[in-house]
Structure 1
Amino acid sequence: MFDIRAIRENPDAFRTAWNRRKPGLGDAVDDILAHGTALRKALTDKQDAESVRNANSKLIGQAKAKGDEAEFERLRAVVAEAKDTIEAAGEQEDEARKLLDEILLGLPNLPLADVPEGEDEAGNVAEKHWSTPRGFNFEPKDHSDLGEALGLMDFETAAKMSGSRFVLLRGALSRLERALASFMLDVQTGEHGYEETTPPFLVRSDAMVGTGQLPKFGEDSFRTTDDMWLIATSEIPLTNSVRESILDARALPKRMTAHTPCFRSEAGSAGRDTKGMIRLHQFNKVELVSIVRDEEEGLAELERMTVCAETILERLELPYRRMLLCTGDMGFGARKTYDLEVWLPSQDTYREISSCSYCGDFQARRMNARWRPEASEDNPKPKPEFVHTLNGSGLAVGRTLVAVLENYQQEDGSIAVPKVLQPYLGGLEVIK
């Protein structure tokens, strides 16, 4: 949710920022101002009528006590008219507030000034390349071909149970996926200071609204028959863990990580990545979430979080690049985003494996999540302020498994196990 007062005081700034996201999107400012005016008028009319009702209600008793029938009837008429006005103004207030909320909840976050302008991924900017992709003296295979040839990756059996875009892993590949998640958690908790968390996998609608999945992107998630939602990412429960609360300044920054399954309907992705594990309805991910005080701290935290994710790729010796996303390719709730893209030999290109975003106070306003600055002589009772939030993948476990299979494949179809993962697999060096 946005601060309507800020929009009213500086409409051109909001109009310009939203137009950077998508040309014409800034026209919503006119509707916001119109509904805001209608809401304020309804509130004023309601308050004025309530004052009239209250004042004249007291006089009715006095007129009756004096036996002044004419004044009694006149006052009754005034009060009745005031009650009608209160009811009508209340309806107008509810309607204006509903229309205003619908617009505000459906608008994306404002991009920061240093985010490049662009319509889609073609406008993204490569900021860093790490390592050189490996040269093969044979034709590298796709991860699904490798996994199926090993008899450890089974899409057919998964489809019999669940349909397309599901996979059944077995044996060493299942262990390898678990090893990847354990390695990621160990690094993020042991070295980077994130608190390991086990959140619910089902959340209510207001939690989805809080992080921006609702109301705009409901079709991208799975909904249960009792109006609960399967999480599309553990960003949702981790970030919502501070909703409707006021945090102590000393508790910030707050850093959390979780390894959870994620569920996505992949609406609108028909025909894209239909083969293999790149785009599944269910996948595992190690998520990173940070809660900080303000923009200055948030931007520093974005750089830190991105390096935390990069560390996993570098320890696994997987070539990657860091992309600064343009205005048209950023996620709904982001003000600035870095994507990490890992090299996939079979596709001869880089593919997204992590997305790290600074969201400002966008999610905090929707969740009513705040923090209280420490008291000082000049400000002994400081008012609570909205926290700023960040989220990122540290990493998507399934896609990391894909990258390991493809980059560590051998000519005979076996998979060399990265050195950092061998202790998690009892010293196993090669998957055959």
Structure 2
Amino acid sequence: MKNLLDQINTPSRAVVVAFLAVVLTGTGLLSLPVAVAGGESASWTSALFTATSAVCVTGLAVHDTAAHWSFFGEIVLLVLMQIGGFGIMTLSSILAVVVSGKLGLRARLNTQAETKTLGPGDVRRVIVGVAKVTLVAEALTATVLAARFVIGYGEPVGRAAYYGIFHAISAFTNAGFALWPDSMMRFVTDPWICLPLISAVVAGGLGFPVYAVLRQNWRRPARWTLHAKITLGMTAVLLFGGAVAVTVTEWNNPGTMGGLSPGLRIMAGFFHSAMTRSGGLNSVDTSQMSESSWLISDVLMFIGAGSASTGGGIKVTTFALLGFVILAELRGEPDVSAGRRRIPEQLQRQALTIALLSVASVAVGTFAMMTVTPFKLDRVLFEVISAFGTVGLSTGITADVGPLGHLILTLLMFVGRLGPVTLGAALALHVQTRRFRYPEERPLVG
């Protein structure tokens, strides 16, 4: 146990401290009178909540972003979103490469743990690669959005460019902030706005390791890594499956999709399904959705996006590995396998540990929120999973949960953003050998 704590405390401590420093810096900037549209200083709980939501690329908001924050405040949010999305994607990518053993390991991270780090050249290549993917995806999305705002809505070029850049970064980083009080509901009938945002969110949720594989072997799927196959496959299944489920349950709901044409209902369903991966934007009123749709959204938000991506959740690979474990047990097979590859037992335990600790975090967070807010379980659970999964969707209760509720959600956002990453890396790098084994005994199961 001490060795595992060393693993968590040493390499990951710097990461947590760095993100905490950015959050506190953002809190200080948002607390300035110049950051608020009315010229008055924001409360520290409001500034802390908003800064954490931006750095952890969540998108939950206490105030209407465009109405409450000044242009300076919006720029602060924009920078925090970019730092948070780029930082977590870079960190996760480096840790993923270290764990997979695909780059040379040279120096020890510390004298107590048997972990090693990347050389300067390797780190540089990963950072440059993540930067290229980020800038290209955001630039393409911003260009399409800006052009649409000019051509379709008559916005001045400068304002259209600002809108395009802000929402491109918000979408690719899976941050979920928008400059309109109804998020993207006013554009529910516009595919030139909705489809680029869907594409950016999905692209940000794949992760750099997948792009590295596709860059080398995009024409030869047989050479894709198991991680890339699982991420792409599960992304498609969850995106389309979630879209079908939400569209069916909301088809005749007059508060959401009921007044749209069939084609637009399908697009709205895909939009919501994509945003539950951690995107956080909404094109229909989430608060008016049925309880069935909330439950579907809870599941999708908890699973989240790909590892080493800007998305949150327990990650699609974790979910898929648990599915492979169940399938092997049902078949009575001695090994857990996927794609003609055997899954190591250590990796199975890692997936189970992350999933169960995440369930525990959601359960504790839900209990805490239920004790300090008057809202029912379905809305509170949705809010807690959205915060922990760094999604940003809400049933409309974020502003009304009170200071204690905001602090609980702030903690959930921070833990949900960094917890699975740091814990996963620590578990993967924590290898302990033992020269003896205890006698076996089988307790009853089930």
TM-score normalised by structure 2 residue count: 0.25
TM-score, structure 1 as length reference: 0.26
Larger radius of gyration: 1
